């Protein structure tokens, strides 16, 4: 009898010990699977704070031969030349050149960049066979430095085509200025109807050089609700009133002042640049910068030592712009 009682006591003791041990292990296991509120908040914060700020990185103007020259075995995309569309702004048909990215697939959707040439040029200046923009863009894609997009080389001349060769001075400037509406009212709907493109301001960019830089700046600011990225490389006078070349056809202001963006249509990226050896547009570019700054409009404006007013400068500007748009 004593032996049985002793055995029962031992069994009860062992049961109590096992129960305590099991409870302890269960608590620890449960705790290890839980995420503390602070950890959860940190994870959520990290996920929601992922934002690419194109203004945060300084631009570079020293790019290698692997970017500016044709590289063996690299696909530079396909150019559709002299594509016609009807422009209500011109009351005539116009042409553009369109660069489709390597691996272009009609089942994909692409953002679009519209590019405007300088005074006296046309829709082939930036996009033609082995053009500097085609090479820079293709090489950047190869090295995963930009994203696939459709690039449209716009003809700035927006008027009756039969009069194109005879116009000069104020008349030519007036025909150029109409491209500001032509791009959004006529060309964009044509591109959107013919190609698989992403729409909306965050998927649309405009950039230009020289007179085209002025038109790009004016186009971007007139259509802030439609265009999110603006590149203006050595712009001429004529976007807003200035003292530079006053009284000439170079200085026919589009606006009395830059339109003031609100929180819904502030440019995603606004980039101006001019070379220190540019013979014409240093002062006006810096004046635009100062006015933008005074209005609280964020911009990245560079005065770049040593560069002039030519394609050598344009290609590094496009490199910086392509590096930062549509991210």
Give the tens place of pLDDT for each residue, 193-210. 999 999 999 999 999 999
The pLDDT mean for the chain works out to: 89
Residue 96 near residue 191 (C-beta atoms within 8 A): no
Q: What angle do CA 121, 187, 54 make, to 5 degrees?
A: 80
Residue 102 neighbours by CB under 8 Å, 6+ apart: 75, 76, 77, 138, 141, 148
Give the tens place of pLDDT for each residue, 85-142. 999 999 999 999 999 999 999 999 999 999 999 999 999 999 999 999 999 999 999 9
CATH superfamily entry for domain 61-324: Alpha/Beta hydrolase fold, catalytic domain (3.40.50.1820)
The predicted model gives 256-281 an average pLDDT of 98
Token code pair at residue 207: 């950039």
- Given pLDDT bands bounded at 50, 70 and 90, which one contains residue 51? confident
Secondary structure of residue 258 in the 3-state scheme = coil
Token code pair at residue 281: 């547009």
Long-range contacts of 293-296 (CB under 8 A, 24+ apart): 295/257, 295/258, 295/260
Token code pair at residue 70: 């044709």
pLDDT at 296: 97
H or E element that contains 191: helix 188-194
Residue 13 in this model has a pLDDT that exceeds 50: no
Is pLDDT larger for residue 14 or for residue 235?
Answer: 235
H or E element that contains 272: strand 269-275
Q: CA-CA distance, 96 to 123, in Å (whole number)? A: 5
Q: CA-CA distance, 259 to 69, in Å (whole number)? A: 39
Residue 26 in this model has a pLDDT that exceeds 60: no
- Given pLDDT bands bounded at 50, 70 and 90, which one contains residue 308? very high
Query: For the chain, which residues make up each domain, given as ranges?
Result: 2-46, 61-324
Of 37-41, 241-245, 287-291, 318-322, the least confident: 37-41
The predicted model gives 1-6 an average pLDDT of 44
- Given pLDDT bands bounded at 50, 70 and 90, which one contains residue 31? very low
- Given pLDDT bands bounded at 50, 70 and 90, which one contains residue 225? very high
pTM of the model: 0.85
Of 40-49, 67-76, 222-231, 275-284, the least confident: 40-49
The predicted model gives 65-78 an average pLDDT of 97
């Amino acid at each position: 009898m004593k032996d049985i009682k002793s055995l029962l006591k031992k069994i009860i003791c062992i049961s109590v010990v096992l129960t305590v041990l099991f409870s302890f292990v269960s608590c620890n296991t449960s705790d290890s699977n839980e995420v503390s509120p602070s950890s959860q908040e940190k994870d959520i914060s990290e996920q929601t704070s992922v934002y690419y700020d194109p203004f945060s990185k300084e631009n570079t103007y020293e790019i290698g031969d692997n970017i500016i020259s044709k590289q063996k075995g690299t696909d530079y995309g396909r150019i559709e030349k002299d594509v016609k569309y009807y422009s209500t702004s011109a009351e005539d048909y116009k042409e553009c050149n369109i660069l489709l990215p390597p691996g272009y697939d009609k089942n994909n959707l692409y953002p679009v960049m519209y590019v405007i040439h300088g005074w006296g040029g046309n829709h082939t200046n930036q996009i033609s066979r082995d053009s500097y923009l085609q090479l820079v863009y293709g090489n950047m894609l190869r090295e995963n430095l930009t994203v696939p997009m459709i690039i449209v080389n716009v003809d700035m001349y927006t008027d009756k085509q039969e009069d194109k060769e005879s116009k000069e001075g104020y008349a030519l400037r007036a025909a150029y200025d109409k491209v500001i509406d032509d791009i959004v009212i006529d060309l964009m709907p044509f591109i959107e109807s013919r190609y698989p493109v992403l729409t909306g301001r965050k998927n649309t960019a405009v950039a230009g050089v020289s007179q085209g830089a002025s038109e790009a700046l004016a186009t971007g600011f007139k259509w802030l609700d439609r265009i999110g990225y603006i590149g203006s490389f050595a712009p001429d006078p004529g976007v807003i009133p200035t003292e530079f070349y006053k009284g000439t056809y170079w200085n026919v202001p589009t606006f009395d002042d830059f339109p003031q963006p609100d929180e819904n249509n502030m440019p995603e990226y606004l980039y101006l640049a001019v070379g220190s050896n540019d013979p014409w547009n240093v002062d006006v570019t810096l004046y635009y910068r100062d006015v933008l700054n005074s209005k609280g409009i964020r911009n990245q404006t560079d005065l770049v030592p040593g560069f002039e007013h030519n394609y050598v400068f344009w290609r590094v500007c496009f490199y910086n712009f392509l590096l930062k748009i549509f991210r």
